Amino acid sequence: MDKPGRLAADEIKALVGREIGVSEWIEVTQAKIDAFANITGDWQFIHVDPDRAARETPFGGSIAHGFLTLSLLSAMGAQVIPRPEGLAMGVNYGFDKLRFLSPVPAGSRVRGRFWLMEAEERGAGELTMKYKVDVEIDGSEKQALVAEWLTRQYFGPVN
Q: Which residues contact 16 (CB under 8 A, 6 or more apart)?
A: 116, 117, 118, 119
Q: How far is CA 145 from the centre of its chain?
A: 9
Q: Given this structure, which CATH class describes domain 6-155?
A: alpha beta
pLDDT tens track, the chain, 159 positions: 455 667 777 888 889 999 999 999 999 999 999 999 999 999 999 999 999 999 999 999 999 999 999 999 999 999 998 887 788 888 999 999 999 999 999 999 999 999 999 999 887 788 899 999 999 999 999 999 999 999 998 887 655
Quick one: pLDDT at residue 40?
A: 97
Q: Which of 80, 66, 65 is nearest to 132 (CA)?
A: 80
Distance from C-alpha of 19 to C-alpha of 21, rounded to nearest angstrom:
6
pLDDT digits (tens, 9 = 90+) for 48-90: 999 999 999 999 999 999 999 999 999 999 999 888 778 888 8
Q: Which of 154, 77, 147, 138 is nearest to 104 (CA)?
A: 138
Confidence (pTM): 0.89
The amino acid that residue 86 corresponds to is G
Q: Are 105 and 57 in contact (CB under 8 A)?
A: no
What is residue 53's three-state secondary structure? helix
Break the chain into its structural domains and give their ranges: 6-155
